[in-house]
Every structure is written in C-alpha cells, then in structure tokens.
Structure 1
C-alpha cells in the first residue's frame, strides 16, 4: 500500500517541490511512474508520482514547472485521475492526444531548463523529447539526484526481503544453461557483455525470485552477463543468504547493488556492451560512456527465451491454473448466493476471492491487484477499487472480476463477467447485455480456435476477437492479449495480441510454440456495464494433414465456468456451441478432483451442455 504523508497536503508537496527546483536552478521536472529497472509495477520507494499527486494508477506521468503542473494519463484512467488528483493543482492531460513536449511549449519560456531523473527514463525517451523541445528553446537536463526524494520526508526504504533460489525442477533449465545461451548470443553479436536491468529477466536468468515488488516475485538487482558465461549480480548485501550464494555458484559474482554505477564506469573501458532500449535507463548508458565503453541497443537476449516456456514451465502452469480455477469457482458460487442480498461490496468481494485463493498453501501472492468492478465501474477496464470508490454490488447488475495468483509453478490471470441476480430471482440481464457478452464470447472462441502458420504475429490475429463486435458497430480500446510469465510478471513481453496500428509494442512479434498469452476481448458501455472474458492460452504446434509448412494453434489453460445467464444461445453457431460445451466438459475434468459437496455440484450445474 502506498504510504502517504499526512502532515503535508497536496498543495504543500507541490510547493516544496517547486522550492527545491528553484534552489537547483531548474524550471521544471518530469515525474514518471517508474523505477531504475523500467518496471511496470514499482515498489513503494519509487511511487513518486503517487506521493506528489495522489494518483494510484499504474501508468502515467506528471510534469511540474515553477508556475504550472499537469498529469498525463491515457483513456484507461480518465475517470480515476479526476477522482484522485486535485484539479486545482494539476491540469488533466490525455495521451496520446496531448504530449509532454506540446504542453511544455505552451507553459515554458525560451531558455527553460526542464530536469529529468536519468535513472527513470530510457535513452530513446530523452532523444525524442530533446528533438521536440530544442526548436522551442527548452533544454532537457539530467539531474543527478531526484528532487522528489529531497522533499519526501518519510519516503519508504526499498524492500529488505531476501532473494531466494527458484526450484530448477520448476524452472526447467539451469542458470548455467541459460547463461551459456546468453554468452553464445554475445559472441554472435560481437559484444563483451550485456547489462540486464529488467527485474524479471534477472530472476529468469539466475533462477532466483524475491518479494521486492508487489505481486511480482522479483528482487531489486542488476545483472551484467559476460561472453564467457559468467555473470555479476548487483544486489543489496542484506538480501543475500548462504543458500542463495550456494545456488548461484562460482560463476556468478555477487556485488553490492550500490557499486553498480561505479562498475559501469570502471570495468568496461574499450569494451562493447549490449543494452536493451526498453529497459536500460539513461544512467546506465551514461555510466558506460563515462568509462570509455561503447554500447549498442539490442533486445535483451533473455526476453524471447523467457517468453517461450519449456515443458516443465508449461506443466507448472497447468497445475497453477487448476489450483486457481478451483478457488475462483468456489468464489463465484459464493458470490451467486451472497451478492443478491445487496450486502457485498467491491472490496469485500475482492477480499473473499483472495481468501479462497489463500486456502491453497502454495499461493505466495496475488499476481496483481484484483479488479473488482460492479455496474458502471465494470465499464472502466483498469478500474482499481479503494475505500473512496468502493460501492455495494447492486442486485440486478453485471459484476466483472479480473484477478490472478502466484503459485509454485505458474502465474495466473483470469476475468469472468457474471450476472448478479435479485433475492426473488426475477431480475434478468437485458437483451443488450446478453448480445454484447455473446459477441465478446464469439470473438474469444474464434481466437481460441485459431490455427495459423509459423511467422504469424499477435497483431495479425487481433481482428479475430473483434469481428463480431465490429458487426454491431462497437469495439474495445485495450489489447486482446498480453504475455504472461512463469512465476514472474503477469504482463510479459515481447508477444502481444492487439491492433497493429498506433505503435503498440509487441504486436509485430512472431508467436512461437511455448508462449503463453491472455485471450481477453471485452465491451464497455460507459456508466452502465462492462464485459470481459479472459482465459490464458499456450501457443502449441498443430499437426495438420496436407499442411504446407509449420502451423500453430492455442491450448486453453484456464478452466472456470462461463456465466450461462449472459449467453444468447441463438447468436452462437453450432461450432461455437460445441466449443463452449467442450470447454465446460474440460472444466469439469480439471476441477472435479479439487472440489467437493456444493462447490462441485455448482460446477457440474454451470458446465452442463448448452
């Protein structure tokens, strides 16, 4: 939970930052949601944007000048930012329509010096912004220490949690094997070393896990991997145990995380180092350059390897899905009984779902904050319930729950949309609700059933999930699928299923057998209801008689009943009905050994043939 500073109001925090900027001779400062590893989710110590503005979303940034301040978010957070950020202090700006460069040109005078923290931004971000600001006479300045940190009186310290070995039986490959593959890549590419700052890449390469970022089992650290197969792990000494040292072995040198920046400048003179442009921040490149190293931007060689799950990881994921499916199914039965009474709210529903998951001793954490969204809140795809936004789940409404868990063998992510009835059972979904849900389901089925040649990208498959919504003149604004890690990040690249337009990262990535993605089309009617159906799928090879070349398809991994009350059977084809019936039969097969009594009876009822 983000720690707040009760003795400083929002206006006082903004005033304190402006005084600090004046003291440093700066005219403005950019505040992202980011850490030194370009993580999607960050620890409390790095929640600078939240501390300054009160915004608790997972994407966005602000910029503060001596006279103006603005917060920039995309369409997912249009409502949330207005609920959490004081309009008297910050202008609301919407990306991509509004740009930081455009806003700075509006509010800054010629000669303004706008600072940024070089450990929170990539080289590409700086270059692009500099090109746009230079004609306006505005200079972008790397600031050695973050001004927010200077005025945040009770900023949390980074997590002290120890790093732990990840079972090689679950990982499916030894760290030595993975490091050897990276070394081979370095030799082929002509580099001496690669800096790996992405926390999940560090965890995957060394087969370690941690507890430093909420819901993502990683340890704050960096790795420098060398072309001889050795590696250096930069990590705080208090995180290192004798068990970890034994696990890493002699080929991995453990160094203090505080020594990372100086090592960049001291250890690579005359050498060539590879950096991932999406994860290597400006501070890393500056350190290497100061020490006389050359560097080249290339994708971290662990990224694609990590995305292609080996047989052990696939088996672990199937086990995790079975565990999770039992917990979610028990929750949905509980919800069907309790929510119509009108006494269950969004927070208590999320807590009850977590309690069902926690009955499994293997659960180590949720994989992200549960999206527990009732009625109009379900129309916000990335809604995050809190004490201020929490509402009772109205009887006679739609409820959407998007959630997941971290289990010993895998990471789960599932969305179910269900109808909440009334005590007398008289309320029913509207024809529009059933139509939209069924169109979402039809798209979900078409993507799940897709067969495609090797070389196909996620961007090429996206239309399969949208086609029936488009027929009705509607669409959804988010991607259709994201990669998922193996006891790691719930959002993992490089693969993605989304519209190929708009520069969306990952949409052009070729899909490979072994990749895990989500299949989650949706529909959202502002202020009324929202629908999303999400299962995880595994890319697998498909044997086809007469096939010319190699073909792939999807194995569905998630097994929880779909809400029959929201399905308009007459809108489904015979093939689609057969898919639903076969899916529900597999749900029974997977969950029956894990459920008893009324829970099992509920699953059997909900999975009866359409």
Structure 2
C-alpha cells in the first residue's frame, strides 16, 4: 500500500534510519550532478515533505526527543511557500542563511549520534562543514551506501529514458573537438592528466549534446572525463545514444555505460586529476582518494567559456527572444481582453501562454515552471501554481507572470507585472511599480569598467526602493545559458560578496544575465520586471580605456497603466519610449489583426 500522507512517509523514513543504525538523515533537493532542477527520480525532498520549490533541504532525526525532530531549511524566496506546502506540525521552518543546518543538528542530537548523508548528492565542502559542527558535540556525519529515501519510496520514478541528441555546431558556434582541445590545453598548462566533469550543462556544452532528462533543462544524465590528449570518456546509459550522436562525437569520445562511472576511477590511479568542489559531489572525491589519484581542486574549466557566449550563441539568443516576444505580446493582448471578465485563473493563464509559445513550432520546453501569481500569490517570488493553490485573476488586481522558453537557438526568461482592470490601479501599487521600473532602467543603462563584479551593480536596481524603505529578498540578476540552464553561473548580480555567492565574478563581454528587480507585499501582491541583457563592449566619447555595458535582449511591452509618469526623469522616459519603439519594430512583423493593434497601442510613446 502506497504511503499517501507526508506524515506516513516521514514515519517510514525514520523506521528505515533506525534499521540502519542512524540517528538522522539530511535530504536536499539535489541529484548526482548537483543540478538546480532535478529529474523526477531525484525529487526526494518533494516526496518526503510536499515542498515544491527548487532550493531547500530537510534534516530528519530518527528519534525525536523534544519538539518535531525535523526541520525545513529554505531561503527568502520560499519563506511563504514552505509554510503553505510543508506541515508545521511535522517540521520546524528555518531560514537560510540565518539558520545553519549544522547548528540545528548539533543542538538537537546527543553524543555518539550518527547522522547520515548521501555522498552522491552533497558537496565535500558541505559535508566537511556539518561534520565539524557535529564533532563539537561528539556526534558524527556518516556517508550512507544507498539513499534511505529510495528504500521507502515505493513508486519512485525511474531515471528518464529519453535519447540524447546533437546540438548543431552552427548554433553552438564551436565544435566539440575545439572545446575538448581547449580543455586539453588547460590540463597541460596546469600539469594535469584529466578532469572529471559532472555538471550536466557542462557535459552538454562540451560535447554539443542536448537531452530531455531533466524538466526544463535540455541535458542528458551523464558524466564526462576529459584526458590531456583531448579525448574523453562519456558515461551515459547506452540506450540513450543514437547513431547520429555517436557519429557526431567520433572516435575521440569513448561512450561507456553510466553505471561504470564509479568503477572507472580506478583508471585514474596515480594521476593528477582535477575536480570542481562546487560542482562535483563528495562521492567523486571519495573515489579519487580511494584509487590513489592526486586530487587538484579547480573550477570546472567549461564554466567561464560556457558563460561567455560566442557570436553564434548571441545571435541565437536574439532570434529566440524575438520569437518569444511575439508570443508574450499575443498573451498580454489575450489577457487584457479576458482577465477583466473574471474567467481566467493562474493555471489557465499559464496554459494559454504555453500555447502561444508553441505556435512557433520551435519550442522544445519551458525553461522553468511558469510563475503565474495572481494577487497575494504574486508576493511569493518563486511561487509555483498547482490545483490546490490556483486562484482566479480577479478584476482590479495585480498579476505577475515569470516565464521562459527553451528554443534550439536560445533560452528565454521574462517577467511582466500586469494590472487587471477595468478600474485604475491604486496609487501605492503604481508607486512601487515605478520604483521597480526605475531600478530596472538604471541597471540597463549603466556602463562600467572591465573587472566590475555583479555586486557592484546590484544597488542600482534597488536604490529607488531603498529611498522609500523598501527592498526585495532575491538577487537582481542571474546568468542564462544558450539552450541550456535558465540559471547559469558564474556571473550574478546580487547583494553580498564572495565566490560562493557568485557576486565576485567580473562581468565579461558575451555574458547574458537577467535584470529583474522586484517588490513584494506579503499577502497582497508582487511586482517584478525582468528582461535579459548581454554584456558588451561600448564606446563612450572621451572615455579612457575599455568600457562595458548592456544590450537588451528581451522585447515585450511593459504595462504602462502601472507607471507614475511624474516619478520618471526625462532620461527614463526616453529609455521607455526607445525600448517600446524597438519592441514594436521587432514584434509587429510577427503579428496581425487585433494582436497588432494592441501592440501599437501598448508601444505608443509614454
């Protein structure tokens, strides 16, 4: 009999932990590749707790002494969502980074306790940090052989059987052989024999291969070892490799079964091997240690080249954005007609937007689950609608929709905030929207010298909110892949400093980021305006040295009914009018009839 309640699942896990002699276990949202979005088989946290966000973890004690004996750890994006989806009777709510899992475990376990973790879904750094906290109280963090959740999850899905496919070199801009030669050169410079690459987007980028094993990210479940001569071993389920894929890779890439990956480390004995501690699970380092390889910790050598888009990838993004913008315009027109009637809800709106995107016949997938947030649901920045949370778009309310598409030539991500009429929006909503807009414009227009990190620009997007004593609890910009992950490092625009935050990475020409300031009034509404931008070289008259700036990639109307014109400077009004003229020029040839008439009105000068 399947366990249908989360209380029953928690109880089953505790019994399994007790059977194994464990006093606790840690459950993250993660897979063997440390992916942000994971396949259904790896959604262990969601199965256990009901949490539907993309980042979070739980700590479960086998024998609770005081209180609940379990805790959910999420960041500011999910403060509201976790309380709606996860039982407060079963789990304490903990906020990251203020609350540390290591501290919580140390406070709640006794001397001699053994806390289990799966080394195939955690980093070595995480394990080391938690182990040190537990050691202070005489407890121990121990790796498990086989995940305890898998032992009690009776109807756990199997990993995806989808076939991998070739990403055309014309879209990739460079061949796999060129990329592997560059990695080999890097290995030579660092006197290394091989590098282990386990991040799925890094594997896909290196081989010019895509897949359908993870929702919304076109990657194939596999690992890669690249040797110093430019050859590589690709570990993937054999049935996923088509003749076309094998032919494209050629003899220099040895295709091997995915389940041989762990055993293959024996071939690295005595060799100098690079692995990225931020993108490789602890088990990879354990295996390298076991076989006697010399481990050299290095950043994944594909990360920066992958982030710096070549000319073919840049043009592909422009083409994908132009196509996507037309779908958004059709949706916004449809919404302006249907939503005020009161017959549209969050699910039907998201479904209709998906239909408009599919009209191009080039859409491969959404780039993430559409955030379709009406009224109070829009106040949760990473809200995900389902049958239980679904509410109507009420007349005279705010609606936030954050969405994106995966096309063979580019990955899109756009947020628009819309006033659902028919009456005029309240002054407070317009004030907040215009402050967010001013921050968006300030970041879009800024120029900066090479070497500038994302943290140096973040305040630009927040300044007008800060002047009113307001802020938002998420980053301002994330990197975006080229028909890969919608969230891609190492670049980021956000508060704080540090390599782990990504905000110390200098922005470089060719990088693509989001520009998405927001404002959220809990229980009432949310506002966010998001476009994607390309970092590019810019010419400034009289400038000394090189300078960088942004090229806007996303074009779709911004809701003019929410703008307080008197709060905008002449330069900001010029930006608005120029942006909408460009939007009209790009999208009008793709529209006709009522859609075109709506676009013309939406793009008229402010």
Q: TM-score, normalised by structure 1?
A: 0.97
Q: Distance in 2 between matches of 1:64 and 1:436?
A: 41
Q: Distance in 2 between matches of 1:92 and 1:563?
A: 36
The aligned counterpart of 2:295 is 295
Q: Distance in 2 between matches of 1:103 and 1:500?
A: 24
Helix, strand or coil at the partner of 1:576: helix
Q: Distance in 2 between matches of 1:339 and 1:544?
A: 45
Write out per-residue CA displacement over residues 136-163 of structure 1, whole angstroms, 9 at most, x where no aligned residue: 1110001111111111111100000000
Helix, strand or coil at the partner of 2:574: helix
The aligned counterpart of 1:382 is 382
Cα distance, 1:83 vs. partner? 1.8
Q: Is the 8 A contact 1:376 1:526 kept in 2?
A: yes
Q: Distance in 2 between matches of 1:63 and 1:503?
A: 26
In structure 1, list runs of 5 or more residues that go unmatched.
Answer: none
Deviates more, 1:497-506 or 1:89-98: 497-506
Q: How do residues 264-275 of structure 1 correspond to structure 2 at under 5 angstroms?
A: 264=265, 266-275=266-275
Give structure 1 regions of 4+ aligned residues with deviation exceeding 4 angstroms: 501-504
Q: How do residues 445-464 of structure 1 correspond to structure 2 at under 5 angstroms?
A: 445-464=441-460
Task: Select which of 539, 546, 567 maps to 1:571.
Answer: 567
Q: How do residues 69-108 of structure 1 correspond to structure 2 at under 5 angstroms?
A: 69-108=70-109
Q: Distance in 2 between matches of 1:470 and 1:56?
A: 31
The aligned counterpart of 2:262 is 261
Work out whether 1:369 is the aligned partner of 2:369. Answer: yes
Cα distance, 1:7 vs. partner? 4.0
Q: Distance in 2 between matches of 1:444 and 1:123?
A: 38
Cα distance, 1:503 vs. partner? 7.0
The aligned counterpart of 2:241 is 240
Work out whether 1:215 is the aligned partner of 2:211. Answer: no
Write out per-residue CA displacement over residues 153-207 of structure 1, whole angstroms, 9 at most, x where no aligned residue: 1110000000001011000000000001111111111211110000000000000
Q: Distance in 2 between matches of 1:474 and 1:93?
A: 23
In structure 2, list runs of 5 or more residues that go unmatched.
Answer: none
Q: Distance in 1 between matches of 2:417 and 2:283?
A: 44
Q: Distance in 2 between matches of 1:573 and 1:211?
A: 46
Work out whether 1:495 is the aligned partner of 2:491. Answer: yes
Q: Distance in 2 between matches of 1:83 and 1:554?
A: 38
Distance 1:458 1:542, change over 3 A: same
Helix, strand or coil at the partner of 1:203: helix
Q: Distance in 2 between matches of 1:502 and 1:515?
A: 19
Helix, strand or coil at the partner of 1:400: strand
Cα distance, 1:500 vs. partner? 2.4
Helix, strand or coil at the partner of 2:84: helix
Q: Is the 8 A contact 1:364 1:406 kept in 2?
A: yes
Q: How do residues 385-534 of structure 1 correspond to structure 2 at under 5 angstroms?
A: 385-422=385-422, 427-501=423-497, 505-534=501-530
Q: Is the 8 A contact 1:485 1:492 kept in 2?
A: yes
Task: Select which of 534, 537, 551 maps to 1:555.
Answer: 551
Q: Distance in 1 between matches of 2:17 and 2:133?
A: 23
Write out per-residue CA displacement over residues 415-457 of structure 1, whole angstroms, 9 at most, x where no aligned residue: 00011003xxxx1111111111111111111111111111111
Q: Is the 8 A contact 1:498 1:504 kept in 2?
A: no
Q: Distance in 1 between matches of 2:466 and 2:571?
A: 20
Deviates more, 1:574-583 or 1:21-30: 21-30
Distance 1:93 1:500, change over 3 A: closer
Q: Is the 8 A contact 2:400 2:416 kept in 1?
A: yes
Cα distance, 1:234 vs. partner? 0.3
Q: Distance in 2 between matches of 1:467 and 1:70?
A: 35
Q: Is the 8 A contact 2:2 2:154 kept in 1?
A: no
Work out whether 1:46 is the aligned partner of 2:13. Answer: no
The aligned counterpart of 1:194 is 195
Distance 1:201 1:393, change over 3 A: same
The aligned counterpart of 1:360 is 360
Write out per-residue CA displacement over residues 93-134 of structure 1, whole angstroms, 9 at most, x where no aligned residue: 222222212221222111100010000101110111112211
The aligned counterpart of 2:21 is 25
The aligned counterpart of 2:186 is 185
The aligned counterpart of 2:177 is 176
Helix, strand or coil at the partner of 1:331: helix
Write out per-residue CA displacement over residues 526-573 of structure 1, whole angstroms, 9 at most, x where no aligned residue: 111111000000001012233221101100000001111001111111
Helix, strand or coil at the partner of 1:187: helix
Q: Distance in 2 between matches of 1:102 and 1:7?
A: 31
Q: Is the 8 A contact 1:460 1:500 kept in 2?
A: no
Q: Is the 8 A contact 1:380 1:524 kept in 2?
A: yes
Work out whether 1:544 is the aligned partner of 2:551. Answer: no
The aligned counterpart of 2:603 is 607
Q: How big is the alpha-carbon RMSD for the aligned residues of Structure 1 and Structure 2?
A: 1.1
The aligned counterpart of 1:590 is 586
Cα distance, 1:88 vs. partner? 2.3
Cα distance, 1:501 vs. partner? 4.3
Cα distance, 1:504 vs. partner? 5.6
Q: Is the 8 A contact 1:304 1:494 kept in 2?
A: yes
Distance 1:318 1:220, change over 3 A: same
Q: Distance in 2 between matches of 1:101 and 1:494?
A: 26
Q: Distance in 1 between matches of 2:569 and 2:80?
A: 38
Q: How do residues 323-362 of structure 1 correspond to structure 2 at under 5 angstroms?
A: 323-362=323-362
Helix, strand or coil at the partner of 1:372: strand
Helix, strand or coil at the partner of 1:232: strand
